[in-house]
A and B are shown apart, each in its own frame.
Chain A
C-alpha cells in the first residue's frame, strides 16, 4: 500500500526533493509554532533561582550525611567535630580526646567515625552500607525530587546530627 512512498529526506544540504507529506509537515509545524505568543521568561529570576538551588543542593548533601559506627554512631554534622549531642548514649568505649567541647558539661565524646553519604546511592547499595554499619533499614518510601535518578536515595531519616546505635532503624526515601 505504501509502495510508492519514497523514504524521507535525509536532510542534507541540497536535498530539495521533499515529498508532499514532508512539505506539509514543514508548513504545519511552522504554522503551529506561531499559534501562541512567546511568554516572558524571567532571566534574572532564573539566575537567582539557580543560585539558590545550588545552595540547597549543598545543604541537602550535608543533611543526608549519616554517621554510623559499630555500637555508636556519631553524626559529624559536616564539620568533623568530635562532639556528639548531649543525648548520645554511648555504648562503646569512648576515648575522651582533648576535644573542643568546652561549652557544656554533659557533652559526651565518642571516637570520630567517618560519616557516609547516602544521597544518590542506589537503594541496594544504601541497604548494604547500613547493614555494614549494623543499622537496619526502616521504612522505605518513594518520592520525587527535581532531577533525581530513579531508584536512588533522596532522603534519610533520622538526619544528621542524630546519633544512631547499632540495630537502630534508618528510614529511606527513594526516588521514583
Chain B
C-alpha cells in the first residue's frame, strides 16, 4: 500500500485510542490533543519503518508516552492544584464513591509524571511489568517500585479507597461499641 494512505488510515483508526491514552496521561483535553498531534508528526517522520513493524500501535504509543515523559521533565509543568482541604472527603462522606473517584482522578494527575505513566500503562493499557519496562526503557524492578510508590501515594491521599466500602471498617481497634 502507498505509505501515504497507510498513514492516513492509521490515523483514522487509531487516533481515538491514542487520544484516550493521552487524555489520561495528561489530564487535560488541550494537552492531550497537542501530545497526539506531536506524536503523529513524529510517527509520520519515520512511518516507513513503523509501518513495517509487527505492532505499529504499540510503537506509536511508546513514542507518545516518552514524549509526554520528557516534556514534563523538561518544563516541570505544574498541574493546577486546587488542593488542600478541598480534596479531603467531608466527614460523613468518606464513602461517597463518586466523590472518591473524582478525587482519584485528581490525585492521579498530581503524581509525578513517571509514576503516573507507569500507573496509566498498567491500569489503562493493561501492560505487564516487562512491557512497561520496555516501553519506558527502564528496568522491570524500577517499574515495580514506581508502581508501588504510586499506589501508596494514591492511597495516602484517598483513604476511602484503601478497602472496599462493603467491608466497612471494623479494623484497627475501632470497634468501640
Give the B-binding residues of A (Cβ under 8 A).
2, 4-5, 7-12, 20-22, 24-36, 38-39, 41, 43-44, 46-47, 49-50, 53-54, 150
Contacts and interface: CB of A to CB of B under 8 A. Distances in A.
Interface string B126-153: 1111011000000000001001100110
Contacts of A27: 101
A31 B24 CA distance: 10
Contacts of B122: 8-9, 11
A20 B95 CA distance: 13
A27 to B, nearest CB: 7
A5 B155 CA distance: 10
B32 interface: yes
Given A21-B151, A46-B11, A47-B4, A11 B128 contact: yes
Interface in B71-126: 74, 100-101, 104-105, 108, 119-120, 122-124, 126
**Highest count of chain B CB atoms <10 Å: which of A2, A26, A28:** A28
B29 to A, nearest CB: 5
Contacts of A22: 123, 151
B129 A21 contact: no
B161 A24 contact: yes
Contacts of B21: 33
A134 B28 CA distance: 51
A33 B12 contact: no
A31 B124 CA distance: 10
Given A11-B127, A44-B8, 12 more contacts: A11-B132, A27-B101, A29-B123, A33-B23, A36-B23, A38-B19, A38-B20, A43-B10, A46-B37, A46-B40, A53-B41, A54-B45
13 contacts: A8-B148, A28-B105, A32-B105, A39-B19, A41-B15, A43-B7, A43-B10, A43-B11, A44-B8, A46-B7, A46-B11, A50-B45, A53-B45
A176 B37 CA distance: 23
B162 A5 contact: yes
